[in-house]
Amino acid sequence: MTNVRSAVLERAGLQRPGDRAPFEWQPSLLDAAVTEPDLDGSFARAERIALDREAWVEYVPGWVSGATDLFEAVVHGAPWTHRTVPMYGRMVEEPRLTAWYGSDLDDHTLPTLVPRLAGALSDRYARSFDGVGAALYRDGRDSVAWHSDRIDPKIVEPVVAILSLGSPRKLRLRAKFRRNDARSVALFPGDLLVMGGMAQSTWEHSIPKVARAGPRLSLQFRHSH
């Protein structure tokens, strides 16, 4: 196995030389035999987890094979921004990078597999997934605080799908009104996590900081109606 080169992110304009310690990321051994990224359209390994009577998540380990190549393709091609957001009464740089492709799945910067992923999700969850976003956690210092995704309130029981690429990270979930009701899911490259039912209304999720981690990327699929 080889560590991902910091030059990959430098060429994408995401790392300034000397800005941070070199990235260390070891691709999966399973990806070594995969010629190009692909998906399991059967969702054969899907596991539905009831958070409560009205909210659920579905976890699909290894939904995408060839995740290493997809990771690098998104890192190179996504329209990355580094947002400044209000936090604790002041404006601070968000501890991650984000990108939004909008609702055009024909965007030439999208890897060719991404529209197929959206189509497979649409077929399974009976939603028209027409928007794709991405978030890059460059190392263990990057994170996202507890939150629910911002979704048009007119959408009833929205479904949000997250494909994890790159280094493993833990995603935490907690009930908004029962803070002692919490779960966590370790996401590995190629894993899919889907949140549905009332999960966006009654639950929150986060990616916590950790002492040490390589770069991790999430692709987020949403529907506008």
Q: Is the pLDDT of residue 5 over 60?
A: no
Q: Is the pLDDT of residue 8 over 70?
A: no
At 143, list the tokens.
């994170």
Q: Is the pLDDT of residue 102 over 50?
A: yes
What's the pLDDT score for residue 92? 79
* Cα–Cα distance for residue pair 213/190, rounded to 1 Å: 17
What's the pLDDT score for residue 1? 35
Domains along the chain?
Answer: 6-223 (2.60.120.590)
pLDDT in tens, 198-224: 999 999 999 999 999 999 999 999 999
At 184, list the tokens.
């966590």
* Cα–Cα distance for residue pair 85/147, rounded to 1 Å: 14
What is the mean pLDDT of the segment spanning 167-175?
A: 97
* Model pTM score: 0.86
What's the pLDDT score for residue 17? 47
Q: Which of 12-16, 75-79, 141-145, 175-179 has the lowest mean pLDDT?
A: 12-16
Cβ atoms within 10 A of the Cβ of 116, count?
15
* Cα–Cα distance for residue pair 65/157, rounded to 1 Å: 29
What's the pLDDT score for residue 22? 42
